[in-house]
């Protein structure tokens, strides 16, 4: 029931979405004396940080590694703030990812940079100069320990530059910050390494993303949280509720209500009106701006990302439950990238590589003696969206994709196909249905060299008492983005209300 008196109460805050950004915003809001409540369209917390069960197997839809997972580093304070990893067990991999190439050759990305350097030099001694430079950059970045809990900057890159050790790393920050993964691949003359670096992540993505991840792995600060995504979401949910916050599940926000240029509440899908002195959207950016607010509060800065930036492409996500142990390769938390000598066609596109997560290092995701695998690769949102209206064809296409993937995995792991007892296929439409994410993207904007340092507005022109948090207001996505933008916005609230921010 609407309560108009809350419209003038600055301590009353509505948060749209119970993903990591929304939950984190709620935690900081409660700590600073605000009375917040979250409206979430799904029946679970976490948003994209989620998992689901099928036939006793858990399919994790998010976490591969957690940045700043080492408690000795400053970045870990973020997770302390929101209770993300309280009492959690962290698995630190010796081998992060494997890129399998032709003629049985593979590139192993070891967590230890010394071991990685020796391996790359053995594979491609002709690229010694490039390999030495990359590994020197990883070592330099490993010495940078930004205190992300301060939330002083709008921008991760600025916070990294402010760290004391960044001075020595500055030449590498400039060099690799200007490079895409495609550019980095071209630094190599060895065909295997050239293809590996060009294709292991998104070609337009800044090379800094990979090198910083490798530096955190070297510091044992990019570990995997045993149990995966959903327990972490529930941990933050608990922290928020323990602080007095309220979450209303199954409540989709249809409209953000505005009076005299200020946000005053929301209208839910069932017609109910809920009022508050401040509205913060942790929901999908496009939906927030163009649907919930009807595109009324925009300027060139607001429009630019949706017209020019590159999004993380939507995925088809295939979960497999296998009635056998798959002991090797063990503990590869970044997945195994398998080259297909016989490519498959899915949604009209040729797929010549499969990224396979083999969760043999997490005993909580599958029954004893069994293994869960996830296979994900980019696909066309438009194709699946149009097909969704024809349910029989939609389901048939999903089944065909799974059959093709199982067949290729059986060639890599002989006998696997006969042991598959669970198959689950999620498409971009699945992600859109459960999270509302624009075009089914799983992580917002790709951090390219052009957008890596871009500061996106957390407010909208002509609208007061309204803010946005999460992956659509900071390129790069991931869990740190959610927590950092949450802290930044609650600091903005405290400044507005002349209060001292409390972490």
Nearest to 498 by CA among 126, 10, 5, 89: 10
Asked whether 167 and 175 are in contact (CB, 8 A), the reply is no
> Distance between CA atoms of 204 and 311, rounded to whole angstroms?
10
Whats the size of the chain, residue-wise? 503
Supply the pLDDT for residue 196.
Answer: 94
CA–CA distance, 132 with 130 (Å, rounded to integer): 6
Can you tell me the distance from the alpha carbon of 109 to that of 99, in angstroms, rounded to the nearest whole number? Answer: 8
Q: What is the pLDDT of residue 147?
A: 62
Query: What is the per-residue pLDDT for 372?
Result: 98
* Integer Cα distance of 68 and 145 in angstroms: 9
Burial code (b: 16+ CB inside 10 Å, e: under 16) for 365-393 equals bbeeebbbbbbbbbbbbebbbebbeeeee
128-142 helix and 207-218 helix, angle to the nearest 10 degrees: 60
CB 47 within 8 A of CB 435: yes
Q: Which two tokens mark 302?
A: 């607001």
Letter string b/e over residues 310-332, b meaning 16 or more CB atoms within 10 A of that residue's CB = bbbbbbbbbbbbbeeebeeeebb
The bridge status of strand 246-249 relative to strand 35-40 is: parallel
> Hey, is 202 helix, strand or coil?
coil
Provide the pLDDT for residue 172. Answer: 94
pLDDT of residue 151: 47
Q: What is the pLDDT along the chain (503 residues), one digit of tens a residue?
A: 577 767 778 889 999 999 999 999 999 999 999 999 999 999 999 999 999 999 999 999 998 999 999 999 888 999 999 999 888 899 999 999 999 987 778 999 999 999 999 999 999 999 999 999 999 999 999 998 866 555 444 455 555 555 566 778 889 999 999 999 999 999 999 999 999 998 888 999 999 999 999 999 999 999 999 999 999 999 999 999 999 999 999 999 999 999 999 999 999 999 999 999 999 999 999 999 999 999 999 999 999 999 999 999 999 999 999 999 999 999 999 999 999 999 999 999 999 999 999 999 999 999 999 999 999 999 999 999 999 999 999 999 999 999 999 999 999 999 999 999 999 999 999 999 999 999 999 899 999 999 987 878 999 999 999 999 999 999 888 899 999 999 999 999 999 999 999 88
Burial class (CB in 10 A: 0-12, 13-18, 19+), 200: buried
Q: Please give the Cα distance from 218 to 65 (Å, whole number).
A: 13
Among the listed residues 4, 49, 31, the one whose alpha carbon sits nearest the alpha carbon of residue 479:
49
Residue 446 and residue 260 in contact, taking contact as beta carbons nearer than 8 Å? no
Decide the pairing of beta strands 66-67 and 51-54: unpaired
Q: Are strands 222-225 and 420-426 parallel, antiparallel or unpaired?
A: unpaired
Rounded Cα distance between 464 and 346, Å, is: 46
Residue 267: beta bridge partners? 255, 273
DSSP letter string over 475-501?
TT-HHHHHHHHHHHHHHHHHHHTT---
Identify the residue whose tokens are 């999620």. 426
Both tokens assigned to 268: 């839910």
Per-residue pLDDT of 56-70, as tens digits, reads 999 999 989 999 999
In Å, the largest CA–CA distance within the chain is 72
What confidence score (pLDDT) does residue 350 get? 95
What are the backbone dihedrals phi and psi of residue 2, each rounded to the nearest 5 degrees, phi first?
A: -65, 145
Distance CA 223, CA 20 (A): 18
CA distance 210 to 301: 28
Amino acid 144: pLDDT: 87
Question: pLDDT tens, 71-105?
Answer: 998 889 999 999 998 888 999 999 999 999 877 78
- Run of H or E including 185: helix 181-185
Q: Cα Rg for the chain, rounded, in angstroms? A: 23
Task: Tell me how far apart the alpha carbons of residues 6 and 29 are, in angstroms, rounded to a whole number.
Answer: 16
What pTM value is reported for the model? 0.94
Tokens of 238: 């608990």
pLDDT score of 159? 52
């Amino acid at each position: 029931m609407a309560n108009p008196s809350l419209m003038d109460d600055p301590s009353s805050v509505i948060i749209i979405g119970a993903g990591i950004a929304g939950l984190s915003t709620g935690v900081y809001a409660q700590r600073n004396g605000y009375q917040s409540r979250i409206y979430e369209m799904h029946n679970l917390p976490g948003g994209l940080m989620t998992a689901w069960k099928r036939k006793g197997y858990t399919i994790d839809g998010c976490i591969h590694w957690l940045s700043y997972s080492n408690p000795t580093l400053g970045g870990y304070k973020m997770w302390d703030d929101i209770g993300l990893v309280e009492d959690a067990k962290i698995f630190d991999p010796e081998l992060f990812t494997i890129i399998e190439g032709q003629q049985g050759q593979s590139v192993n990305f070891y967590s230890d940079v010394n071991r990685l350097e020796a391996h790359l030099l053995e594979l491609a001694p002709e690229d010694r100069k490039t390999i030495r430079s990359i590994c020197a950059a990883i070592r330099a970045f490993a010495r940078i320990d930004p205190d992300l809990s301060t939330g002083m900057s709008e921008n991760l890159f600025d916070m990294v530059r402010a760290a004391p050790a960044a001075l020595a790393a500055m030449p590498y920050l400039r060099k690799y910050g200007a490079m895409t993964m495609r550019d980095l691949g071209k630094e190599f003359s060895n065909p295997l390494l050239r293809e590996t670096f060009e294709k292991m992540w998104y070609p337009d993505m800044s090379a800094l993303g990979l090198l910083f991840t490798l530096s955190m792995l070297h510091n044992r600060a990019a570990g995997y949280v045993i149990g995966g995504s959903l327990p972490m979401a529930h941990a933050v949910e608990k922290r928020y509720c323990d602080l007095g916050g309220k979450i209303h599940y199954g409540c989709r926000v249809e409209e953000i209500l505005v009076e005299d240029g200020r946000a005053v509440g929301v209208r839910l899908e069932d017609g109910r009106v809920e009022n508050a002195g401040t509205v913060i959207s942790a929901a999908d950016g496009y939906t927030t701006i163009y649907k919930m607010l009807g595109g009324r509060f925009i300027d060139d800065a607001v429009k630019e990302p949706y017209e020019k930036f590159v999004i993380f492409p939507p995925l088809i996500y295939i979960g497999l439950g296998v009635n056998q142990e798959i002991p090797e390769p063990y503990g590869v938390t970044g997945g195994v990238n398998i080259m297909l000598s016989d490519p498959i066609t899915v949604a009209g596109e040729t797929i010549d590589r499969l990224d396979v997560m083999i969760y043999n290092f997490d005993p909580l995701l599958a029954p004893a003696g069994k293994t869960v695998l996830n296979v994900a690769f980019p696909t066309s949102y438009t194709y699946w969206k149009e097909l969704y209206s024809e349910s029989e064809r939609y389901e048939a296409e999903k089944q065909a994709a799974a059959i093709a993937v199982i067949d290729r995995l059986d060639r890599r792991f002989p006998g696997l196909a006969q042991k598959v007892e669970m198959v689950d296929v999620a498409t971009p439409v699945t992600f859109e249905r459960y999270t509302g994410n624009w075009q089914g993207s799983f992580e917002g904007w790709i951090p390219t060299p052009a957008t890596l340092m871009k500061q996106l507005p957390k407010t909208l022109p002509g609208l007061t008492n309204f803010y946005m948090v999460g992956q659509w207001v900071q390129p790069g996505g991931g869990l740190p983005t959610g927590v950092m933008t949450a802290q930044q916005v609650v600091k903005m609230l405290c400044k507005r209300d002349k209060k001292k921010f409390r972490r």
